[in-house]
Structure 1
Amino acid sequence: MVKHNELPDPSKLSVYQDEFNEKSFWFKIKKYGKKVGAAGVYAVFLLYYTFRKPDLPLKARSTILGALGYFVMPFDFIPDITPIIGYTDDMVALTGALLLVAAYIDDATKDRARTKVKSLFGDDVLGDIQSIDEKIDRDHPKEAP
């Protein structure tokens, strides 16, 4: 049973997997994307495009599916309609999942996510999303060729 009164534990996101579906995902992005902000939407798209990789290991796939399920879930620890802090719990789940699967987020995935975020928010958002890339790259540096 999913408890809606506590912050999500990124290591236990699999309980939210049943909440995710394409329709609810795109609905949430279209309706609340501006409130979530460019950085939050970028995190969502990084997870979404990583999830779609056919060779992604099951554990990473489950983590992402749980985080995206929590994101689209209509009932949260902090209601999404709460001004300013309403997406804090969603960001905890998304950030935790990003850190757990960062090794699977490659440059092509980042480019797809950046392109999609720019199509929604405009070209000015690169500074907003740069901190997410820096965190991913710092925690999982690329090996030298």
Structure 2
Amino acid sequence: MSILKNIKNKSKKLMQELIVLHLAYKNPKTPWTAKALIVLIIGYALSPIDLIPDFIPVIGLLDDLILLPLVIYWAIKLIPKDILEECRVKAKTHQWNKRKSWTAAIIIAIIWILIVYFIIHALFLNK
């Protein structure tokens, strides 16, 4: 039972860090390199497609348990400490704008559909 509780706590911390990254992205003082990495991280975290599919036993969860926290840690290292602290304070009371969340989800879905279309077109239809 403690393993499940530990996973839930880590999941909550991960979600909190995603909120911090979102707020840091909106800050004009955040370096562009951090912003670029934040876009990739949040896009990947919200995307229904993983590098390693989740249905593969054990290995399927590695990208969510190891890869995602590593790139979040890397992005946090690129953000200046004062901006990071300000965003951590704001993240404790931050409420997501549901309309913008749906818009972002739709944009991510369209991007994945276009990627799949171009891959299929290049591999099978371009003869």
Q: TM-score, normalised by structure 2?
A: 0.50
Which is helix-richer, 1 or 2? Answer: 2
| Bigger Rg, structure 1 or 2 | 2
